[in-house]
């Protein structure tokens, strides 16, 4: 193993080598830039090395030049290198060097901040919420390294804006989302509020405990609850931390939160229960747990729009449609109504066809779901294989044609000719709807047309 002196000497040589390499790169790029400038300017005298880019000029002949595609391709690939790769290298190099510098240039400011002077300094809140948040991110990315913790503690002692929101999040929320329990402990110990509400898009009203549950962090959840976090806090949609835990898991979070006062009967603003959340998240173990509670949740309870937990098994989240067949099996075995309808007349089978959830569609048909059921527009599940689904933000989901074809095959095999000739309220069959909605070369359209009805 190398001695301390040998290591330090090697480190300095590595830094010197990097410096020389970077210098050679800059010189090489400068030469090629000047060469290219001469070539495209008709061998005009190139501008001085230190002149700004705006001083470059092109001859009339060069202005008329058609740029070859290979040049366009080369430049298109060059810009990301400059804008991303080099920037990452710059940050990484400075970060590593700063860590070394900070170790050998250590100033103990503890006596200063323990004195009356420290109170005066803190009163100015010299450190912004943004700077504190960045320090938290560095600490989290370091895996809770000692130096990162020392830097964070120093900022807090100076007088950081500990509860300020940056992009809707406090430093504590950033620590939670970064999965850095040491940073969470430091911030809470420094007086960070546990009940500040998030303004981040999609997480409006979240507390730090909501975030910990949503990020599936049992250790952080336990720490925050022990520190006094409100287990019944509501976000802007009236979701509790327990609702987040039911949606994201793991199972161990639920009995822990319930034992500390969380309400398993709580509903969101639109009336969804914990069972809806577990079904939407695809957690069959949590579904079992909730159904086995002494005051168990109703397996067929609908929300404001008539969606039951069974409907929630095909819930769309972050651009993907759920396909939680194991939860469907659990719910059906516990008495779920397989043909329950939403306020818009949708059965779970119709929604599965709409969202391309093959496993759920196959299981529902096997268990006797009505393939001829119609929604409020008279459309059957086969009609819905033609339609696109959207995510919770209203953006179109990827149209997985193969999944849609698989579902259509299952529906036709079960429903026969009656499924093929069924017409919606506008008098269109699924085939005719496909001819209106899908391109002529669509494999789904070709499959439906091949059924012999058009």
Other C-beta atoms lying within 10 Å of the C-beta of residue 74: 10
pLDDT value, residue 58: 54
List per-residue pLDDT tens for the chain, 454 residues long: 567 778 888 888 888 888 888 898 888 888 888 888 777 765 444 444 444 444 455 555 555 556 666 776 667 666 666 666 776 777 677 767 766 765 665 545 555 555 554 554 455 555 789 989 999 998 888 876 656 678 888 888 878 889 999 999 999 999 999 999 999 999 999 999 999 999 999 999 999 999 999 999 999 999 999 999 999 999 999 999 999 999 999 999 999 999 999 999 999 999 999 999 999 999 999 999 999 998 878 999 999 999 999 999 999 876 566 899 999 999 999 999 999 999 999 999 999 999 999 999 999 999 999 999 999 999 999 999 999 755 444 445 555 889 999 999 999 999 999 999 999 999 999 999 999 988 899 899 999 999 876 4
Dump strand ranges (E) for 211-325: 316-317, 320-321
Give the pLDDT confidence score for residue 186 in this predicted structure: 94
CA separation for the pair 449, 451 (Å, rounded): 5
Residue 61 has phi, psi (to 5 degrees) of -65, -40
Q: Looking at the DSSP assignment, which residues form a beta bridge with residue 169?
A: 166
Report which secondary-structure segment, H or E, holds 320: strand 320-321
Angle at 216 between CA 211 and CA 219, to 5 degrees: 90
Closest CA to 237 of 211, 266, 259, 204: 204
CA neighbor of 352 nearest in space, from 318, 327, 377: 327
Query: pLDDT at position 393, please?
Result: 47
With 0-12 / 13-18 / 19 or more C-beta atoms within 10 angstroms meaning exposed / middle / buried, residue 417 is exposed
User: Within the chain, which residue ranges are assigned CATH 1.25.40.20?
Assistant: 113-249, 273-279+308-417
Superfamily covering domain 273-279+308-417: Ankyrin repeat-containing domain (1.25.40.20)
**Separation CA 392–CA 385 (nearest Å):** 19
Describe the crossing of helices 86-104 and 4-40 by its angle, rounded to 10 degrees. 150
- Picking from 267, 266, 276, the residue whose alpha carbon sits closest to that of residue 299 is 276
- Cα-based distances in Å from 98 to 14, 69, 151: 15, 43, 12
Chain segment 248-277, per-residue pLDDT in tens: 999 999 999 999 999 999 999 999 999 999
Q: CA–CA separation, 344 vs 303, rounded Å? A: 13
Phi, psi of 45 (to 5 degrees): -65, 125
| Kind and range of the H or E run holding 173 | helix 171-177
CB 215 within 8 A of CB 248: yes
Question: 337 by DSSP, 3-state: which?
Answer: coil
| Helical ranges in 249-400 per DSSP H | 253-259, 274-281, 284-291, 309-312, 325-333, 348-355, 358-366, 381-384
SS3 317: strand
Give the homologous superfamily in CATH for domain 113-249. Ankyrin repeat-containing domain (1.25.40.20)
Return d(Cα 432, Cα 434) in angstroms, integer: 5
Neighbouring-strand partners of residue 320:
317
User: Is the four-CA dihedral 435, 441, 446, 448 of positive or negative sign?
Assistant: negative
- Residue 219 CB-density burial (10 A; 0-12 exposed, 13-18 middle, 19+ buried): exposed
């Amino acid at each position: 193993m190398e001695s301390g002196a040998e290591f330090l000497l090697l480190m300095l040589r590595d830094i010197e080598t990097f410096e020389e390499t970077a210098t050679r790169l800059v010189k090489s790029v400068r030469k090629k830039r000047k060469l290219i400038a001469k070539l495209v300017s008709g061998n005009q005298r190139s501008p001085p090395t230190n002149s700004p880019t705006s001083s470059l000029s092109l001859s009339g002949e060069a202005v008329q030049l058609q740029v070859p595609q290979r040049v366009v391709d080369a430049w298109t690939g060059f810009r990301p290198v400059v804008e991303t790769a080099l920037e990452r290298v710059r940050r990484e190099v400075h970060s590593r060097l700063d860590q070394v510098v900070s170790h050998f240039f250590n100033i103990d400011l503890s006596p200063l901040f323990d004195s009356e002077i420290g109170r005066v300094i803190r009163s100015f809140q010299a450190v912004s919420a943004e700077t504190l948040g960045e320090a938290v991110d560095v600490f989290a990315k370091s895996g809770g390294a000692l130096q990162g913790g020392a830097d964070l503690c120093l900022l807090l002692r100076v007088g950081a804006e500990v509860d300020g929101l940056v992009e809707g999040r406090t430093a504590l929320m950033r620590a939670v989302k970064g999965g850095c329990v040491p940073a969470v402990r430091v911030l809470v110990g420094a007086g960070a509020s546990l009940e500040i509400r998030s303004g981040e898009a999609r997480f409006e009203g979240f507390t730090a405990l909501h975030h910990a549950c949503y990020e599936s962090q049992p250790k952080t959840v336990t720490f925050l609850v022990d520190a006094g976090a409100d287990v019944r806090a509501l976000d802007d949609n009236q979701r509790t931390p327990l609702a987040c835990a039911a949606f994201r898991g793991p199972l161990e979070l639920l009995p822990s939160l319930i034992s500390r006062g969380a309400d398993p009967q709580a509903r969101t603003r639109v009336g969804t229960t914990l069972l809806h959340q577990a079904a939407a998240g695809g957690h069959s173990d949590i579904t079992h747990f909730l159904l086995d509670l002494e005051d168990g949740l109703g397996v067929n309870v609908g929300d404001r729009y008539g969606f039951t937990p069974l409907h929630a098994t095909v819930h769309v989240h972050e651009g993907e449609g759920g396909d939680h067949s194991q939860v469907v099996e659990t719910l059906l075995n516990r008495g779920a109504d397989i043909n329950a309808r939403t306020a818009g007349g949708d059965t779970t089978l119709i929604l599965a066809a709409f969202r391309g959830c093959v496993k759920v569609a196959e299981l529902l048909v096997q268990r006797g779901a009505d393939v001829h059921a119609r929604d409020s527009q008279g459309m059957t599940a086969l009609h819905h294989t033609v339609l696109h689904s959207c995510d919770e933000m209203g953006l179109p989901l990827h149209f997985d044609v193969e999944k849609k074809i698989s579902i259509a095959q299952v529906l036709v095999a079960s429903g026969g000719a009656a499924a093929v000739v069924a017409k919606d309220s506008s008098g269109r069959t699924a085939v005719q709807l496909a001819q209106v909605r899908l391109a002529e070369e669509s494999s789904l359209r070709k499959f439906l047309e091949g059924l012999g009805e058009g």
